[in-house]
Amino acid sequence: MGIISIIITILLPPLAVAMNKGLGKDFIINVILTLLGWLPGVIHGFYVQSR
């Protein structure tokens, strides 16, 4: 995971997930979590990138 990827995950979690996994179920889950609160979206974004 590069520094650019980390910065994008912190600022725009759905974009980071879309860049890593595409526009599938992980992206939709991340959008919902980000709408519920920024922190859950960031945590899910880092989780998706670590898999």
Q: What is the pLDDT along the chain (51 residues), one digit of tens a residue?
A: 789 999 999 999 999 999 999 999 999 999 999 999 999 999 999 999 998
Domain of residue 45 covers 3-50
Distance from the first to the final alpha carbon of the chain: 11
Residue 19 has a pLDDT of 93
CB 10 within 8 A of CB 44: no
pLDDT of amino acid 1: 73
- Please tell me the distance from the alpha carbon of residue 2 to that of residue 13, in angstroms, as a whole number: 15
Task: Provide the number of structural domains found in the chain.
Answer: 1
Q: Which pTM value belongs to this model?
A: 0.87
What is the distance between the alpha carbons of residues 13 and 4, in angstroms, rounded to a whole number?
12
Residue type, 13: P
pLDDT (0 to 100) of residue 8: 95
